[in-house]
Chain A
Amino acid sequence: MHDISAAITTRFRVAATGCIIGLLVVAVAPWLLDTYLTNILIRTLFLATVVMTVDILWGSVGILTFGQSAFFGIGAYACGLIFTHYGFGPGWALAGLALGIGVGAVVAAATGWLAFFHGSLPLYASIITLALPIVLTQVIFSGGNFTGSSSGLSGFPTYYWDLRIWFWTAGTFLVLTTTAAWLLVRSDFGRVMVAIRENEERCAYLGIPVSRIKIMLMIASAVIASAAGFGYAAFSNVVAPELASFQLGTEFLIWTALGGRGTLLGPIFAALGIDTMSSWLSGTMPFLWKLLIGVVFVAVIVLLPRGFAPLVGGLFRRILPVRTAGAPARVLVPDTRSRLGQGADDQKPPLRIEHLSRRYGSLSVLTDVTMTGRASHLLGIIGPNGAGKTTLMRCISDGSERSGGKVEINGAEIGRGAPQDIVALGVGRSFQNTNLFDTLTVADCLLLARYRIDGARLFRSSVGIALPEPALDILRATGLDQRLADETGNLSHGMKRGLELAMVLATEPSVLLLDEPTAGLTRPERMVIGKVLGRLTRDYGLCIVLIEHDLDFVREISDRVVVLHQGSILMEGTVDEVVSSELVRSVYAGHHVEAAQ
């Protein structure tokens, strides 16, 4: 236990050290710089804060946003409008700041609502974020004398503080927000953010409310960007539509890409460096400068997707080897309050499917499927390739998938619910392919699976991961409990399967949907899985629905078998009834002949 607390305090110590160094640099810098550079840098510091939020959204969560300038502009205009039209003074300044932040948050929430919903494409979200500044700029242009239209507002009363005070204000704001962001991305919640970036769909099937998290992050970064915009306008005494334009939003993206997305500090230094440099160079070669930036940008995206930060970081580490504050060691603890299996109710079948159908245009993949999954039963689903097995799983676990019919989990209809809603009803689903979250560790993955039940700490890491007993069994049997700190990309296939199953169990389902859980496993590994599945039905009363090709395995563990063929149920019965059926045999044989042709 001592080690663990040490790791966590190490992280806070690193954060505190970085923060203090940053503040010291900010404190000293104005005495070393001339008026011109100080002026330029004050503005750039505010912009760098916005770039940092772009990096959170894009680098950490994977939201490619062109629209962060809109929030910057909202904050700036809150300042310009209040000081120009309403009044000036500490009270008005606070009111303006609150207005900017409030409007920014509301707009971010609305944008998030439009852009993020289950099934929305990431590129669609990007388009929405591109449309946001364009629409906002248009609103500013139409504002006439109120917003100053194209000319913007200028010369409103503001605080003509000494340049040093402005520099300290902007610098402190940047250092503090960045420290908070640094802690955030390294916290448990930060792991969830990375998981969403790596595999959003899988997150949804673990019951993580992906869209809500994205919207929350969008709001949080909008708040910071608005505050930065407010500061920018109050300092420079000017607001203009270009502060909200998509061109500025694009520049933020370029700086983030060049600096190194997901590194927080890289984009900040890129912003400071490029913006300052462009003050010098854009005068002497305005068009060439933009062309150069564009070419470098494309080259970096294609050739150096992580930007320049890793290069610089690598160089730095070679010169000055620093022990990085690694992920904290974590321990697995049994979940004493586990509700796994307690949802079972002998009166109501946990899974009831009625007249389910799924069509893609004119193509019918499932027709009129009606079946029931009982507690403490393992239902095998077999059928040739293309019979609709995986589609059936999808229709059970995602309400927007089916074209007709009804699915009930523990007596509740799933309606059009998104996967995370259905997880909440008690469905757990494993997938055919094993690509988990390659850059996350085993412990991170388990933490992720517990998000729905235990939540995630925002700026800190928890030490213990509480898991239900069967999940712990699997981890012990596969040796994963010894490899909690390993990245999942480095695990063997069998271990990935085991981890996947443990993660699904960690969500404490009452209906477990398994899509070929033993594909590619060795015989002993299958035995382990088979044993666990047996325990889950026997001791925990789970209802398991299993897709499997290996009939021997099915025979060993299934209570009943459903045969799917061309999208409808061909037969249902005990394993022996099915295996001895002529009909089933002919279907399989026919299929093999077809495939051979």
Chain B
Amino acid sequence: MGLACAVSAQAEETIRIGIPVGLSGANSVVAPSVVQASELAVDQINAKGGVLGRRLELVIADDGSGAQGAQRAYDSLVFQQKVDAIVAMETSAARNAGLPIVNRGKVPLIYTSFYEGRSCSPWMHINAWVPEQQVAPIVDQFMDEMGAKKFFLIGSDYAFGRGMLEFTREYVESKGGTVVGEEYLPMDGSDWTAIISQMRSASPDALITSTAGGAPNVTLTKQLRATGVDIPYGNYAIDEGTAATMGTDAEGIYIAASYITGIDSAANNAFLEALNAKFGAKAETPSELSVPQYEGILAYAAAVEKAGSTDAEKVVEALGEVTVDGPRGSITMNKQRHSPLTMYLGRVAADGSVEVIKSFPDVDPGEQCPQLAG
């Protein structure tokens, strides 16, 4: 009996945050950096005395980067571990699989991965970008600064690939440009020969690609370079780490991101320092996927503070109001559960690093969840 009391007292004391993440499967490449970012956030908050005098505790669960694993992970987090909130950097399939469980278990959820947009739940907030925020910087640069009129779009055949390119097409056409080709390869496809040949015969002024991360993106870039393509090239799927390992093949690629390690702000510098101090040589390079995770936990802590309790409904209400000053700047998830973000346009240099060319403050996510407005 005594033991049981001690345990329940302990549970009363800590606030448990569930982190479903792809330790195995496609996301296992970025998962370590996401876990580190989460641990750093929790450490920093606990070092300042926690939230409402209670310590934060992480519960990490593998979602296998897919729907089935996510169902297990969410079942475990919601019904077995009974976490107070979930902060999730996951694939769209995993998020969609988790949502019904979150709805059933009534747990606040912060989704921290960029995605194709328009995923809505009364329990979910999102602090990463959607197509509306990502597309404009690159297309504007190509059309306004570099005089491109004819675009060719290449993507992997999946929700994000298609969602991004559909939005790009609309945006290009709304600005008076034309899309001379839009082609997709299956998600695990690696032979882009036919598409590249088609693109060459369409002779566009600029190319924008939105493939799945990792192999498809790398193979496409390699094969493009092997055929000598040198028109302006925007890539929605490349991150700094990949660009650095790809060497000269990546040079000249344009990217748009809400986070680049080179952002020169006090918050970012402090974040990078803290990360290195905590993990030393094992520190993973932070990215567009791990930094929102860090900020997502800060946002939850702030919301609990504001709500004065971990009560799910109150926290969800507060999440739309609190502002986090993190490495990416000041972020509030107040636009139909999504966040206006500062976007950076970057270009990969010869040494694989990303130079920031321009920044676009507070880009609006547009109409994402009108039914949840306010």
Contacts and interface: CB of A to CB of B under 8 A. Distances in A.
Would A and B touch once assembled, by the CB under 8 A criterion?
yes
A240 to B, nearest CB: 3
A283 to B, nearest CB: 5
B71 A286 contact: no
A150 B187 contact: yes
Interface stretch (A141-149, A257-265, A328-336, A435-443): A141-149
A151 B162 contact: no
B67 interface: yes
Nearest to B100: A237
A248 B64 CA distance: 13
Contact of A242 (B66, B80, B116): B66
B24 A35 contact: no
Contacts of B99: 154-155, 238
Contacts of A243: 67-68
Interface string B18-47: 000001100010000000000000000000
B71 A238 contact: yes
Contacts of A160: 104
Contact of A154 (B68, B100, B160, B186): B100
Nearest to A239: B67
B159 interface: yes
Interface stretch (B89-97, B256-264, B292-300, B361-369): B89-97
B68 A150 contact: no
A154 B96 contact: yes
A446 to B, nearest CB: 47
Interface in A125-171: 138, 141-142, 144, 148-155, 160
Contacts of B79: 34-36, 39
Nearest to B69: A282
Nearest to B186: A138
B24 A150 contact: no
B14 to A, nearest CB: 19
Interface string A286-313: 1100100000000000000000000000
Interface string A258-291: 0000000000000000000001001100110010
Interface in A546-589: none
Contacts of A35: 79-80
A315 B24 CA distance: 37
Given A240-B67, A279-B72, A286-B23, A148 B62 contact: no
A412 interface: no
A238 B76 contact: no
B93 A40 contact: no
B157 interface: yes
Chain B interface residue number, banded: 35 or more
B75 interface: yes
A242 B66 CA distance: 7
A400 interface: no
Contacts of B158: 141, 149-151
A236 interface: yes
B42 to A, nearest CB: 18
A496 interface: no
A488 to B, nearest CB: 45
A239 B28 CA distance: 22
A290 B80 contact: no
Contact of B159 (A39, A149, A236): A149
B94 to A, nearest CB: 9
B103 interface: yes
B95 to A, nearest CB: 8
A43 interface: yes
Contacts of B92: 150-151
B30 to A, nearest CB: 14
A241 interface: yes
A40 B121 CA distance: 23
Given A155-B100, A283-B61, A142 B157 contact: yes
* Interface majority SS (helix, strand, loop, mixed), chain A: helix
B73 interface: yes
B23 A238 contact: no
B80 A36 contact: yes
A36 B23 contact: no
B96 A287 contact: no
Contact of A151 (B28, B96, B157): B96
Given A141-B157, A152-B67, A40 B72 contact: yes
A286 to B, nearest CB: 3
Contacts of B186: 138, 141
A242 B93 contact: yes
Interface string B253-290: 00000000000000000000000000000000000000
Given A39-B79, A138-B186, A152-B67, A283 B73 contact: yes
A153 B99 CA distance: 11
Given A152-B93, A286-B64, A236 B24 contact: no
B68 to A, nearest CB: 6
Contacts of B71: 43, 236, 238
Given A138-B186, A160-B104, A240-B67, A150 B93 contact: yes
B160 A150 contact: yes
A238 B157 contact: no
Given A39-B79, A290-B24, A144 B162 contact: yes
A153 B61 CA distance: 22
User: Looking at A34, A160, A279, which has the most chain B CB atoms within 10 Å of its CB?
Assistant: A279
A153 B159 contact: no
Nearest to A240: B67
Interface string A339-365: 000000000000000000000000000
User: Looking at B80, B95, B121, which has the most chain A CB atoms within 10 Å of its CB?
Assistant: B80
Contacts of A138: 157, 186
A150 B159 contact: yes
A238 B62 contact: no
Interface in B52-75: 60-62, 64, 66-69, 71-73, 75
Contacts of A155: 96, 99-100, 103, 121
Contacts of B103: 155
Contacts of B23: 283, 286
Contact of B24 (A39, A142, A237, A286): A286
Contacts of B162: 144, 149
Nearest to A278: B72
A238 B96 contact: yes
15 contacts: A36-B75, A36-B76, A141-B158, A142-B157, A149-B159, A151-B93, A151-B160, A152-B67, A152-B93, A152-B96, A154-B100, A155-B99, A242-B93, A283-B60, A283-B76
For the complex of A and B, 7 pairs with smallest distance between CB atoms = A240-B67, A150-B158, A286-B24, A154-B96, A237-B100, A151-B92, A36-B80
Given A148-B159, A151-B93, 6 more contacts: A150-B158, A150-B187, A151-B116, A151-B160, A238-B71, A286-B24
